[in-house]
Amino acid sequence: MHKEYYYLGVITKHFGIKGELFVYLDTDEPEKYTKLEAVFLDIDGDFVPYPIEKISYRGGNLAVFKFKDVDYEEASDLIKSALYLPISTLPPLTGNRFYFHEVIGFQVIDKVKGAIGVCTDFIEMHQQSVMQIDNNGIEILIPAVDEFLDTIDRENKIIYVQAPEGLIEIYMGE
C-alpha cells in the first residue's frame, strides 16, 4: 500500500447492466462517502484516479458507484479492485481516536512495564487490528482495542497502553 493513500473499500460485483458497481466501504461511517467526486483504484500497483458520476448508498457498508465513462464491459475489469483516497482528505481526530498511520513511530508505554518500544505498524486481523511494537528487535503485538489503549499524547508522540497481564512477558521471555 502507498503511504499517501488510505484504503476505502473494494468493488465487489456488477449492479445492473449500465456499468454500475457494488462497492463495500470499509469504514465505520460509509454514508459520509456518498459525495465523493473521485477515488483511486489500485490497478496493478498503480493508483489510478476514477471520476465518479454518481453514488447510491445502499445501507450497511454497501454503495453503488457509477464511474464516468465506464460501461458494463470496462466495469467488469474493475471488479475486486481496491479503492483508495488521499490521506490528506481524512478529517483530523482528537483525544484517544487516531488513524493507524499517524501513530507509526510513536513510543509505546505500558502502565505496568513502562517503555516497551516503538509502534512500527498495524496488522489487520479478522476480528481486530493488532499494533506491532519493536523493542530492540523483539516484536511485541498488542490488540489495538479500546480496552488496552489508554491515551494518545500526540505532542510527545507517545501511546499509553495497558496490555493484558502476562502478554508482554511472553514476548520478552520473562
Position 164, amino acid = P
pLDDT of residue 88: 83
What number is the average pLDDT over the span 145-166? Answer: 91
**Chain segment 10-69, per-residue pLDDT in tens:** 999 999 999 999 999 988 788 888 899 999 998 888 899 999 999 999 988 999 999 999
Query: Does 1 have pLDDT greater than 70?
Result: no
- Based on the number of CB atoms within 10 Å of its own CB, is 158 exposed (0-12), middle (13-18) or buried (19 or more)? middle
Q: Residue 56 sits in a domain of what CATH number?
A: 2.40.30.60
10 shares its domain with 85: yes
- pLDDT, mean over the chain: 89
107: CATH:
2.30.30.240
Q: Among residues 35, 69, 89, which one ends one of the domains? A: 89
Regarding whether 108 and 84 lie in a shared domain, the answer is no
Average pLDDT of the residues in 137-156: 91
- In whole angstroms, how far apart are CA 72 and each of 15, 38, 44? 9, 19, 20
Give the pLDDT score at 44.
84
The parent domain of residue 149 ranges over 100-172
pTM for this prediction: 0.66
Strand order in the sheet with 158-161: 138-143, 129-135, 114-124, 107-110, 158-161, 149-153
What's the rounded mean pLDDT across residues 137-143? 94
Q: Can you tell me which residue has the cell 528487535?
A: 137
39 and 114 housed in the same domain: no
